[in-house]
Structure 1
Amino acid sequence: YDVSTDYRYTSITGLNPDGVTASRSTGFSRQHLSQFTLDNQIEAQLATGPVQHTLLAGLDYAHYDFNYRFGFGTAPDLNLVTRNYGLQPIFAAPLGPRTAQSQDQVGLYLQEQAKFDRFVLTLSGRYDWVFQNTVDTTGAATQQNDQAFTGRVGLNYLLAPGLVPYASYATTFAPQPGTDASGRAFRPATGDQIEAGVKYLIPGTNIQAGFAGFNIVQSSVLRTDPNNIAFQIATGSVQSRGFEMEAIANFAPGTNLTLAYTHLDLLYLRQTSFAGQVLDGNYLSGIPGDTFTGFLTYLFPPSSALSGLTLGGGVRFSANSYANDENTVRNPTVTLFDALVAYDFAAIDPKYKGFRAQVNANNIFDRNYFTCQAGFCYRGAPATVIGSLIYRW
């Protein structure tokens, strides 16, 4: 995995006393992240009397290198009436010294899945070792080593044919790449999750549905540094609670419908604003409380002249969200439409089985929208088309 970003921007920093012009600053950021992961597993199935066991053990390794440079400068004032900033150059932010970070993570995990009569019990445990090395802008190197045990327990019960209620509890541990304004590595994010729900496959049909309620608490959350908005800090804690529903249906050969709805309350448990205001109990900005998605695809039958062709379309809806963490301003609702065209080359000749061409189009009507979060506003992705050639074997 490899990603590079190189972006420059201007930002309004305040209104001038004349009430007509605004002062501005410039920013320049260049970042590069590369990562590779390796996972090895061994699985065994055995029985002890009436109990069927599936044992899974594994060892994984991940390494990443992350480096970045920031620069800040000045920009000419902007006339808010004429939208004129004169003939001066807009971007005048030179890049500062480079900060580099590397991380190695080793994880050892074990899982037991035991099935007895109508019960399925899942127990898993994982231990992580993380080694981070950071070289800041002065060339000084610091090291941060972390280790943690996390686990999960889940229970499923086959209540009736196709009807399975379940409950689970899990703890989490996740290293966070990057550094704060002082060049210190971020603390890993930790948390715990409780989830319960039910899954149902309607007998004699290809229709399945699921409902789940959850409560997640996470600490050391990354957010914008109130004292230096170009950086982040790992601080405070949040609570995510809500429920989600999903249904997948095959109404007829080649016709697939997926519907999903999520209600989410994402709240600060312990946090302060840029101005020092206590945000405990406030909603995180930029996160909608209700989202809905629906997508329908149709695969033409083998007898059709369009055999192998799949057409699809869908809709995404996001309800209001708060535009700031003080919860005084709201973002508008957003409705976007997507489309899909795919072709399976096995329809031409069986020897091409597994070879597929696909085009996905998102926001096909090119709706122009913005989402504001924590005092910053971001333009939504415009109409986007992605073409893929896929081979599966």
Structure 2
Amino acid sequence: MKHFVAFILFFSMGCYAQAQKVKGVITDNAQNALVGVSVMIKNHEIGTQSDEKGYFELSGVPEGEHVLLVSSVGFKTKELPFQAIKGSVDLKGIILFEGDEILREVVVSGERDNKFSRNETAYVSKLPIRDFENTQVYSTITNYLLQSQIVTNFDDALKNAAGVDNLWTSTGRGGDGAGYFTLRGFSVQPKLVNGLPGLTNGTINPANIERIEVLKGPSATLFGNAVSAYGGLINVVTKKPYIGTGGALSFTTGSYGLNQLTADFNTPLSKEKQIYFRLNTSYATQQSFQDAGFRKSFFIAPSLSYQVNNRLSFSFYGEITQAEQTNPMFLFLNRAAPTKAKNLEELGYNNKLSFTSNDLSLKNPTQNYRVEMDYKLSDRWQSQTLVSKSNTSTKGYYSYLYDLGVFDTVTFTRFVNKQNASTQTGDIQQNFIGDLKLGALRNRVVIGLDYFTATAISNNSGYAFYGNVTPQGGANGDYPYTAAVEDTAYPLSTSGVDAALSTQPVGNSKTQYETFSVYASDVINFTRRLSGMVGLRLDRFNNRGDLDTSDDDYNQTTLSPKFGLLYQPVLGQVSVFANYQNGFTNVAPALVGNPDEGPQTFKSFKPEQANQLEFGIKTNLMKNKLNLTLSYYDIKVKNQVITDPTSIFNKIQGGEVYSRGFEVELNANPVKGLNIRAGYSNNDSETTKSDNEEILNRRSLDAGAKTLYNFWANYELPVGKLEGFGFGLGFNGSSERFAINYASTNEFILPAYTIANASLFYRASNYHIGLKLNNAFNKEYYKGWTTITPQTPRAILANITYNF
């Protein structure tokens, strides 16, 4: 207690020594008070937000000349020079004018006090509304949070979002090689960049991430089903050009051969024409903690903004990646027969073994490009045209280990193939965004048209048997489908694998589908405290399937609605919300009819539907220093195609799955320099109706663990001789989970775990030095989705960053 009191006195004296205050009131052009406007001192980490009356007050401002930065999504950023003298400075009325930044991000010098949260975004609702006004729940992972944790991979970044966990590490294979994550009881892959489709077959490079937005619940109404899942979607917001010149050079090194060099550079190409350019790039290499395995990548991301005039602006963003990796060797458990081991102890897994070699690798080149055009039609309406293109490829050797269940002991059979596949996507959106009054009601409206197309090309080889292994490291060449016992050698080399694949057929397929959509959403302010959201999407899906045949072609039309209500019992500080959200999946026709009675025929079906009911509370207390979101959701998936109980030759729509639970997420900045992030989720999931007895009345495997939790606290000394020194402490973990859970198999349960992490750092005006310890107690733990995947043991990272 004595140390705590001393700390408080020390902190108070430091603030008193810089007692100058700056205050003012922020309104729009109609003299309406603006709530939640960001107010920051340029080149200083001093900031706050306006309250419900538009009032703000900044304390601890050093004497001298400064520039005040005032910004809010949907308004033009304002810079106000002022001089801080003893006492207080009253800037009185500050007027913000609506600008052309509705769906573009503005990067400014200075930072919020609460650096782990960001309560405004234009992507989640395709409208400039703040989290506090939004009836949908979403988590935001800021760039500062990633920097404080020295995050070098996308999987670690998502540990900061409540209710999100990794199911399946990126394999690099064609089509779906990106990582899989569980979200509200359903699997999801990251497929959205800046609100537009952006695909990858590998992992996403964090060097160009400004923040990550995890939208919770079915989100097809605004984004469609191509990039969203029933549990939600993951949107990556990239770094963008800003006014001025600056950048950073950073080097990170660490355990298991990690070396990563990144650079960030921003400059005006023409100040007179307001053309700004930014370039982010990264080169990284890393080995595995196992006896083999590696990943290396080169990444470059150019971006350009051009403000033609007060009405028209253009933006260009690109991400180009060249990556090569060995695919992780999961242990696939048998999905149809009892496993001989029920847990890790019986399995006897030596997790230091990779069961592969560095000769067998996959290359994953990826390109994502986006062009945006914003045009101000009037004081109330904005036009935005968006075009995105993505291309991702896979070339090289892919292998996996599968328990066939045919040996007397626990044995996994290796299968290999040669990948040569690519996926291209294209998307065109036209949005009209309005902020207008109908009668006495304020309406913030988006009306959009969307065309999306995806083409997949596969020239993959077939899979060849390539020996067997035991979890302890034993190996044999006994081909499982013959009575004889073979003892063939299967070397882990390209020449050996090529010889085994020489008799395998090589595929030649090209598939394609496209979606035409129109959508609209309206946020209606009935009063200052009560608002509602209503949205609707009409989606026309055209599946061309294999372009060599028309047998798999089909079309479907879907309506996807969305509703929400939000009430602020304490204006600008507490909101209570409820929502109904929808998601859907297109279902291909199926052959039905008894073949003994004549030819079978195709039967069409309606799209599968997921409907969510959710309610909760959000807080924005202590001038954005305490943000809490608490929500309960209930998702029901229906219209799954199942076998008719009265005839095995017929299919009907009637399968159902439910997923319900609650989530808590906290972002707090109780005292200057201290930022806290915490999350907790509990999910209950079950298949309640299905023709598949294997999964009926059981928890879905892609639901992951029932309970997930995360915590990270970062403290930086704000004043004194040790100003800039700091430390971070945190943990993340989960309850036990099923690796396999079918009626005909034994349950294989992966145990619960808690992983502790810590960091030390020093931050100066132009540089930052940090040390990070991951998995501090060297915990052995696993994840899986019908698989068993060992996680990285203790690792130490060191980073140095120079800012200019």
Task: Please say if 1:108 is aligned against 2:436.
Answer: no
Partner letter of residue 705 of structure 2?
P
Give the whole-Å Cα distance in 1 for the aligned partners of 2:724 and 2:789: 39
Partner letter of residue 363 of structure 1?
N
2:705 to 288, 294, 297: 288
2:763 to 333, 341, 344: 344
- Report if aligned partners of 2:324, 2:361 keep a CA contact under 8 Å in 1: no
Task: Please say if 1:37 is aligned against 2:404.
Answer: no
**C-alpha displacement of 1:214:** 4.0
1:158–1:55: structure 2 CA closer, same or farther, 3 Å change rule? Answer: farther
Residue 714 (structure 2) aligns with? 297
- Report if aligned partners of 1:344, 1:357 keep a CA contact under 8 Å in 2: yes
1:54–1:389: structure 2 CA closer, same or farther, 3 Å change rule? Answer: farther
**C-alpha displacement of 1:391:** 6.4
* 1:252 match: secondary structure: coil
**C-alpha displacement of 1:340:** 2.6
- Report if aligned partners of 2:394, 2:420 keep a CA contact under 8 Å in 1: yes
Residue 381 (structure 1) aligns with? 792
Q: How does 1:51-130 map to 2 (within 5 A)?
A: 55-70=383-398, 96=417, 98-111=418-431, 112=433, 114=435, 120=444, 126-130=450-454
Measured against aligned partners, the alpha-carbon deviations of 1:310-331 in whole angstroms (never above 9, x if no partner) come to 3111121312323422384543
Measured against aligned partners, the alpha-carbon deviations of 1:230-264 in whole angstroms (never above 9, x if no partner) come to xxxxxx99654433221111111101111211122
Residue 148 (structure 1) aligns with? 515
- Report if aligned partners of 2:445, 2:520 keep a CA contact under 8 Å in 1: no
Partner letter of residue 394 of structure 2?
F
Partner letter of residue 209 of structure 1?
L
2:774 to 344, 350, 362: 362
Q: How does 1:1-393 map to 2 (within 5 A)?
A: 1=321, 2-6=323-327, 28=356, 30-44=361-375, 55-70=383-398, 96=417, 98-111=418-431, 112=433, 114=435, 120=444, 126-137=450-461, 138-149=505-516, 153=521, 155=533, 157=566, 159=568, 160-166=571-577, 167=579, 169=581, 171=583, 194=612, 196-204=615-623, 206-214=625-633, 240-268=659-687, 277-285=693-701, 287-305=704-722, 307-326=723-742, 328=747, 330-346=749-765, 352=766, 355-371=767-783, 373-374=785-786, 376-390=787-801
Measured against aligned partners, the alpha-carbon deviations of 1:286-343 in whole angstroms (never above 9, x if no partner) come to 71111121211101113232x2233111121312323422384543321111123333
How many residues align? The count is 333
Give the whole-Å Cα distance in 1 for the aligned partners of 2:619 and 2:399: 54
Give the whole-Å Cα distance in 2 for the aligned partners of 1:73 and 1:244: 36
Give the whole-Å Cα distance in 1 for the aligned partners of 2:436 and 2:662: 27
Give the whole-Å Cα distance in 1 for the aligned partners of 2:738 and 2:333: 21
- Report if aligned partners of 2:331, 2:401 keep a CA contact under 8 Å in 1: no
The two structures have a TM-score, normalised by structure 1, of 0.66
Residue 86 (structure 1) aligns with? none
* 2:719 match: secondary structure: coil
- Report if aligned partners of 1:65, 1:101 keep a CA contact under 8 Å in 2: yes
**C-alpha displacement of 1:60:** 1.0
Higher helix share: 2
1:392–1:7: structure 2 CA closer, same or farther, 3 Å change rule? Answer: same
- Report if aligned partners of 1:148, 1:173 keep a CA contact under 8 Å in 2: no
- Report if aligned partners of 2:713, 2:728 keep a CA contact under 8 Å in 1: yes
Partner letter of residue 132 of structure 1?
A
Partner letter of residue 759 of structure 2?
L
- Report if aligned partners of 1:168, 1:196 keep a CA contact under 8 Å in 2: no
The two structures have a TM-score, normalised by structure 2, of 0.35
- Report if aligned partners of 1:8, 1:91 keep a CA contact under 8 Å in 2: no
Residue 183 (structure 1) aligns with? none
- Report if aligned partners of 2:332, 2:788 keep a CA contact under 8 Å in 1: no
**C-alpha displacement of 1:134:** 0.9
**C-alpha displacement of 1:66:** 1.4
Partner letter of residue 321 of structure 1?
R
Q: Percent sequence identity over matched residues?
A: 13
1:92–1:329: structure 2 CA closer, same or farther, 3 Å change rule? Answer: closer
Which stretches in structure 1 are left out of the alignment for 5+ residues?
A: 16-20, 84-89, 175-188, 222-235, 347-351
Higher strand share: 1
Give the whole-Å Cα distance in 2 for the aligned partners of 1:214 and 1:106: 33
- Report if aligned partners of 1:361, 1:385 keep a CA contact under 8 Å in 2: yes
- Report if aligned partners of 2:395, 2:420 keep a CA contact under 8 Å in 1: yes
Give the whole-Å Cα distance in 2 for the aligned partners of 1:325 and 1:267: 12
* 1:367 match: secondary structure: coil
- Report if aligned partners of 1:152, 1:170 keep a CA contact under 8 Å in 2: no
- Report if aligned partners of 1:263, 1:290 keep a CA contact under 8 Å in 2: yes
Give the whole-Å Cα distance in 1 for the aligned partners of 2:624 and 2:670: 9
1:303–1:295: structure 2 CA closer, same or farther, 3 Å change rule? Answer: same
**C-alpha displacement of 1:210:** 1.4
**C-alpha displacement of 1:215:** 5.0
- Report if aligned partners of 2:762, 2:769 keep a CA contact under 8 Å in 1: yes
Larger RCO of the pair (alpha carbons < 8 Å, separation 6+): 2
**C-alpha displacement of 1:197:** 4.1
Partner letter of residue 58 of structure 1?
L
- Report if aligned partners of 1:161, 1:203 keep a CA contact under 8 Å in 2: no
Give the whole-Å Cα distance in 2 for the aligned partners of 1:66 and 1:383: 31
Give the whole-Å Cα distance in 2 for the aligned partners of 1:294 and 1:73: 35
- Report if aligned partners of 2:329, 2:401 keep a CA contact under 8 Å in 1: no
1:119–1:12: structure 2 CA closer, same or farther, 3 Å change rule? Answer: closer
* 2:705 match: secondary structure: coil
Give the whole-Å Cα distance in 1 for the aligned partners of 2:381 and 2:576: 20
> Over the residues paired in the alignment, what is the CA RMSD in angstroms?
4.6
Which stretches in structure 2 are left out of the alignment for 5+ residues?
A: 1-320, 341-346, 349-353, 462-504, 524-532, 534-564, 587-606, 641-654
Partner letter of residue 201 of structure 1?
N
Give the whole-Å Cα distance in 1 for the aligned partners of 2:726 and 2:515: 46
Partner letter of residue 265 of structure 1?
D
* 2:669 match: secondary structure: strand
1:119–1:295: structure 2 CA closer, same or farther, 3 Å change rule? Answer: farther
1:162–1:386: structure 2 CA closer, same or farther, 3 Å change rule? Answer: same
1:39–1:173: structure 2 CA closer, same or farther, 3 Å change rule? Answer: farther
Partner letter of residue 388 of structure 2?
D
Which stretch of structure 1 is more off in the superposition, 257-266 or 378-387?
378-387
* 2:721 match: secondary structure: coil
Partner letter of residue 99 of structure 1?
Q
1:322–1:312: structure 2 CA closer, same or farther, 3 Å change rule? Answer: same
